[in-house]
Structure 1
Amino acid sequence: MQRNNILYPGILLSFLALITAASESATPITKNRSLPLVINTWEFTEANSAAWFVLNQQPGGNALDALIEGCTTCERLQCDGTVGYGGSPDENGETTLDAMVMDGSNMNIGAVAGLKQIKDAISVARHVLEHTKHTLLVGDAASNFAEKMGFRRETLATNNSIDIWKTWRQNRCQPNYWLNVYPDPTKNCGPYKPISFDVLDNEDVHRYEYQIGRWNHDTIGMIVIDRNGQIYAGTSTNGAKHKIPGRVGDSPIPGAGAYADNEIGAAVATGDGDIMMRFLPALVAVEGLRAGRTPAVAAETAMQRIKRYYPDFSGGLVVVDRFGNYGAACVGMLKFPYSIVSGDATQKTRVEYKYCETSPSFL
């Protein structure tokens, strides 16, 4: 018995050591084959290509510079009218911007929300990251900060955004985001005043009729991983079209619009931000990776959790582990396109599609 007590544990420990050594020696060859990587929500291929170019300009290309250039490209191109200036006017006809940058090496974040009269939202977020001890700056104060950092104030309105707002007003401000107010927000413009809950029936209290989609309000969410495994995640958006002034969605909220951890991976979200920010899907997905789930399953789990409470919710999530394996999930749409490029510098951006699940498979 004494011999067994000594011998068997020794054999077991030696066997486990051999397995561990073999696994570790294989890691650089098999697991990092997909790096570097750039991936973003939707078919924003120009943004992906711009980030990829910066990432491959020099050995060990700068992931932060690549992320900023990718998102800035979308801001300049006004991707789908949902990113950058000249889109998604609020109830007053004004366009405001939200953006965030997260460093996966130290969990540091720079973000802006409700940014006014400054076009370069993602770059201002970078300045919050690099030049302050804060995480999030908002509204006019964020614009004042941007001016101090050398950015120039200019109008974010365009003829197109003004026409969108005028058409909405002519359509009696339909659709909008108001609930439990008078005059009836389904038929009239404001100003509105609250209705006491004791005079509302249950159906009125739970009214949720605003249908969203890609063309109404969405985001560019981008993840960049360099050859050394440094991860940055970022977002940029002009928010929800016809939003109540002051509204901020998920994009600049850590864990909602984006989340990154060099030890695990990253996730970026897009869709109905008012709902998504209540569930922190990017954080949930990254924690799913930490628990051993694949990127696809981690993404699906996070999205289906939202759908359980909001069956009509629409949104998508892209998830990448630290080795460059990726997956996506979506609900409330037929399919969700996202742009991806990885591997050696000769690779080109391609668009892949995730067909949305119609039932919760991972709850």
Structure 2
Amino acid sequence: MTRVVVIASLLALRVSAQGSPGLPFVINTWGGPFTAATDAAFLSLKNPTTSALDAVQIGCATCEKNQCDGSVGYGGSPDENCETTLDAMIMDGTTMKSGSVAGLRRIRDAIAVARAVLEYTTHTMLAGDLATQFAISNGFRASNLSTPEQEARCAAWREENCQPNYRTNVFPDPKTSCGPYTGVSLNSSAPGYKKAINPDATQASHDTISMISIDASGVMAAGTSTNGATWKVPGRVGDGPITGSGSYVDGEVGGCGATGDGDIMMRFLPCYQAVENLRLGMSPKEAAEDAVKRILRKFPQTASGIVVTSAKGEHGGAGSGWTFTYAFRGGNMNATEVVRVPPVNPVVEAIRMQA
């Protein structure tokens, strides 16, 4: 079979964008336990006094409280020090104002603190202990984000010589030791330098809730919440709280939510790209696929998932490295529906680029 035939066959199999079920409308990354967030956000919009921003906050907060899949909220994804830190972002599709927190410590209500950044400052992001200080000054209560289950998991990880981890180019060998680590000298002109600083992707799968809501009048908002990558280097922040990466919305065009290997995905601002693809006339599915393929051309092993909706609630998704799912509910739907999205094949994408 020639390359042209292969490509034509693949294009024929491509599923078109899903039509809109009507407004109000809520869509977010992942099915399973994440559908509780979809339902909470959608049902909140039945109240005419609930804004699109309110709905996103309600949906993400539902996952924070439920500890969705152990990857959102307290007690999950500990770092090397066995501490959970939280990242969250919320964005208004009309004003384009966003608020976010990164590496938030000791505060469970990450999406609510992000909303406070949006409403009570002219900033976009606050980070770490000073974000915690801001939260406390605005009435949030500090508490321990660890759980007994998390602490037991950390003990087992240390007994296994801290495997896996995210260290590279350090001494002692991070494949056999817990450290403490010291960086080894690298020669930026050496032939192997690019490979040394860009090893194959090793991030274990972790999930972010990224949600877009559209109220009955068509006003849009978006947001994310996550506790990040398990065994991350303390201080690491992924794509979740980065406007345009973990989520993005422009009420005139549409919105996007992303999940996956945030350290790689944030280099491409995939949600900003996807919304701009909508502006250029692509369908939601085409917009998501293009954003994923841009990543795969440089990093073919990346695990990713991107969901896109137009301002009318037409929707689609794309992913790589796993079977991605997203959940949506709109109009007069009586229940949330989950859509399964097969992964884009990086080998096929490479063939297409060479054709």
Structure 1 and Structure 2 fold alike (TM over 0.5): yes
Q: CA deviation at 1:208?
A: 2.8
Matching of residue 49 in structure 1 with residue 36 in structure 2:
no
Q: CA deviation at 1:33?
A: 5.9
The CA RMSD measured in Å over matched residues stands at: 1.7
Q: CA deviation at 1:360?
A: 2.2
Aligned to 2:247: 258
Q: Which amino acid aligns with 1:248?
A: V
Q: Is the 8 A contact 2:20 2:315 kept in 1?
A: no
Q: Is the 8 A contact 1:197 1:205 kept in 2?
A: no
1:338 corresponds to which of 326, 336, 353: 326
Q: TM-score, normalised by structure 2?
A: 0.89
For residues 237 and 206 of structure 1, the distance between their equivalents in structure 2, rounded to whole angstroms, comes to 25
Residue-by-residue CA offset, 1:91-111 (whole Å, 9 max, x unaligned): 000000000000000100010
2:309 corresponds to which of 310, 316, 320: 320
Q: CA deviation at 1:201?
A: 7.2
Matching of residue 208 in structure 1 with residue 200 in structure 2:
yes
Matching of residue 111 in structure 1 with residue 100 in structure 2:
yes
For residues 112 and 319 of structure 1, the distance between their equivalents in structure 2, rounded to whole angstroms, comes to 23
Q: Is the 8 A contact 1:212 1:314 kept in 2?
A: no
For residues 98 and 249 of structure 2, the distance between their equivalents in structure 1, rounded to whole angstroms, comes to 10
Q: CA deviation at 1:350?
A: 1.4
Q: CA deviation at 1:180?
A: 0.7
2:145 corresponds to which of 135, 156, 159: 156
For residues 69 and 253 of structure 1, the distance between their equivalents in structure 2, rounded to whole angstroms, comes to 20
Gaps of 5+ in 2: 1-18
Q: CA deviation at 1:116?
A: 0.4
SS of 2:297's equivalent? helix
For residues 196 and 78 of structure 1, the distance between their equivalents in structure 2, rounded to whole angstroms, comes to 41
Residue-by-residue CA offset, 1:22-61 (whole Å, 9 max, x unaligned): xxxxxxxxx97622110110111111111111111x2364
Residue-by-residue CA offset, 1:185-229 (whole Å, 9 max, x unaligned): 11111111111114987265543352422xxx2200001001111
Q: CA deviation at 1:347?
A: 2.6
SS of 1:47's equivalent? helix
Count of aligned pairs: 327
For residues 182 and 200 of structure 2, the distance between their equivalents in structure 1, rounded to whole angstroms, comes to 18
Gaps of 5+ in 1: 1-30
Aligned to 1:191: 180
Q: Which amino acid aligns with 2:243?
A: P
For residues 32 and 42 of structure 1, the distance between their equivalents in structure 2, rounded to whole angstroms, comes to 19
Pairing 1:1-363 to 2, within 5 Å after superposition: 34-43=22-31, 44-56=34-46, 58-59=47-48, 61-198=50-187, 202=192, 204-208=196-200, 210-213=202-205, 217-333=206-322, 335-344=323-332, 346-358=333-345, 359-360=348-349
SS of 1:357's equivalent? coil
For residues 234 and 48 of structure 2, the distance between their equivalents in structure 1, rounded to whole angstroms, comes to 45
SS of 1:360's equivalent? helix
Q: Is the 8 A contact 2:273 2:291 kept in 1?
A: yes
Residue-by-residue CA offset, 1:342-362 (whole Å, 9 max, x unaligned): 112x53111111111213288
For residues 167 and 32 of structure 1, the distance between their equivalents in structure 2, rounded to whole angstroms, comes to 47
Q: Is the 8 A contact 1:60 1:227 kept in 2?
A: no
Q: CA deviation at 1:266?
A: 0.4
Q: Is the 8 A contact 1:218 1:272 kept in 2?
A: no
SS of 1:187's equivalent? coil
Larger Rg: 1
Residue-by-residue CA offset, 1:157-201 (whole Å, 9 max, x unaligned): 001111121111111111111111110111111111111114987
Residue-by-residue CA offset, 1:126-145 (whole Å, 9 max, x unaligned): 01111111100000000010
For residues 26 and 197 of structure 2, the distance between their equivalents in structure 1, rounded to whole angstroms, comes to 43
Aligned to 1:25: none
Q: Taking every aligned residue pair, what percent have the same amino acid on both sides?
A: 51
Structure 1 residues 205 and 72, CA gap change in structure 2 (3 angstroms): closer
Q: CA deviation at 1:67?
A: 1.0
SS of 1:249's equivalent? coil
Q: Which amino acid aligns with 1:337?
A: T
For residues 91 and 104 of structure 1, the distance between their equivalents in structure 2, rounded to whole angstroms, comes to 36
Residue-by-residue CA offset, 1:272-316 (whole Å, 9 max, x unaligned): 000010000000000000000000000000001001111110010
For residues 279 and 49 of structure 2, the distance between their equivalents in structure 1, rounded to whole angstroms, comes to 26
